[in-house]
Structure 1
Amino acid sequence: MSIFQDFVTHYGYFAVFLFLALGIFGLPMPDEFVIVFTGYLSSSGLLNFTGAMTIAILGVFIGTLVTYTIGKQVGRPIVERFGKWIGLSEKRVLRVERWFSRYGSWTVTLGFFVPGMRHFVCCFSGMSGMAVKRYMLFSSLGTTVSGIICISLGYLFGWPF
């Protein structure tokens, strides 16, 4: 986390935004760690709590929107070509698409509370054809609530808990 702290010291809120927007892809580090650490940096006085929360939530939301778009544009061909190597058979993909047609909206929101799940949920939301406005509504709800919780935990309890 010292890399992140160095970037925040140098680039401020832009670093938080960039790490979280890229964190949805797991680059350069998982966003779950970054968002909690952002809360800690707020408690240490390096960042303003309200500003950090706003930028962090915006960064995660933009990252999820990019992942949704990738899923919508190229997700299906990529899964058809490379899915078998990671256990995504056509049968599993169809099952996930049926799941999203029934419960996709709430899956998007609740996916923000399961580490690692939001990465797949965003992509499969796009692949399943979920309307972008609907996706944005439920994604922003999940992003906001989970962001408030994670940043507050980092702020209140420090790093690591």
Structure 2
Amino acid sequence: MGSEQIIHYIQQYSYFIIFLFLFFGIIGIPSPEESLLFLIGVLAAHGQLSMPLVVLFSFLGTYSGMIGGYYAGKLVGFPLINKYGKWIGMSEDKIVKFEGQFKKNSSKTLIMGFFMPGLRQVAPYLSGIFSINLAKYLVITSAGSLLWAITYILLGWGLGSSFPINPNYVPYLGVGLLVIFILTTLVRYLRKRRKVRGKI
């Protein structure tokens, strides 16, 4: 979906379309989340959107998607895995082992997952399937939702304020920034592993 279409939808449906795009993106329906956040940051910098409302609706859409994914995993995902997991190689022992690993790293996984497409969509379902403490989940995902949304919005706002960015090129900028973030995170992870191995 191009920027022109997104801008058209925003003009037609106002801030509610931001909520919908992010909600559906989180629960797993393909949606240009990073590009959307970056684009609305650019539009806010140009005075076409209100920054407080952009942040509010972005947060609400993301957070609602995370809550929806959690309950979908809890109510539907767990019974399915429990019943049919063996058919995809997920024995009871493997499920228990994976559950332990996920719960141990759940906070880090949920926060970092926002910045990693795929994991961002899977993490809420796994949290529900493995019954992560709801209060803990709500606190972590509220902070993660806000952090993720503000990061990309501010990137768009900052660059949009400093450079004459054509909105039609925003999807490419959003993808580029995402790739840079992932590569930077991967490099840091690999360096950390090397240091750990060096101490052993």
The answer for the alignment partner of 1:45 in structure 2 is 47
Matches within 5 A, 1:109-120: 109-120=111-122
Which protein has the larger Cα radius of gyration, Structure 1 or Structure 2?
2
Contact 1:70 1:126 in 2 (8 A): yes
Q: Give the CA deviation at 1:92.
A: 5.2
Displacement after TM superposition at 1:156 (Å): 2.1
In structure 2, the residue matched to 1:27 is 29
- TM-superposed CA distance for 1:137, in Å, is 0.4
Q: Residue 9 of structure 1 contacts residue 46 of structure 1 at CA under 8 Å; is this kept in 2? A: no
- CA drift at 1:89: 2.8
Name whichever of 140-149 and 19-28 sits farther off: 19-28
Q: Deviations over 1:42-77 (max 9, x none)?
A: 223321112101110111001110001101111123
Pairing partner for 2:96 from 91, 94, 97: 94
| Matched residue type, 2:55 | M
Tell me how far apart the structure 1 counterparts of residues 6 and 76 of structure 2 sit (CA, whole Å).
31
1:35 deviates by 2.0
Whether contact under 8 Å (1:24, 1:30) holds in the other structure is no
- Matched residue pairs, number? 160
| Equivalent runs, 1:1-161 vs 2, <5 Å | 1=2, 2-79=4-81, 89-90=90-91, 93-158=95-160, 159=170, 160-161=172-173
* TM score, norm. by length of structure 2: 0.70
CA distance in 1, matches of 2:143, 2:64: 13
Equivalent pair of 2:109/2:123 in contact (CA under 8 Å): yes
Decide whether aligned partners of structure 1 residues 60 and 77 sit closer, same or farther in structure 2, where only a CA change above 3 A counts.
Answer: same
Shift of 1:36: 2.1
SS at the partner of 1:24? Answer: helix
Q: Is the 8 A contact 1:107 1:121 kept in 2?
A: yes
Give 4+ residue runs of structure 1 displaced > 4 Å after superposition. Answer: 80-85
Residues of 2 paired with 1:126 and 1:99: CA distance?
A: 15
Structure 1 CA distance for aligned equivalents of residues 97 and 36 of structure 2: 32
CA RMSD of aligned residues (A): 2.3
Give the Å deviation of 1:136.
0.4
Whether the 8 Å CA contact 1:53–1:148 is kept in 2: the answer is: yes
Shift of 1:82: 6.6
- Give the AA of the match of 2:61: G
Inter-CA distance 150–98: structure 2 relative to 1 (3 Å threshold):
same
Runs of 5+ consecutive residues of structure 2 not aligned to the other structure:
161-169, 174-200
Instruction: State the TM-score, normalized to the length of structure 1.
Output: 0.86
* Letter of the structure 1 residue corresponding to residue 90 of structure 2: S
C-alpha separation in 2, matches of 1:7 and 1:131: 37
Q: Per-residue deviation at 1:31?
A: 2.2
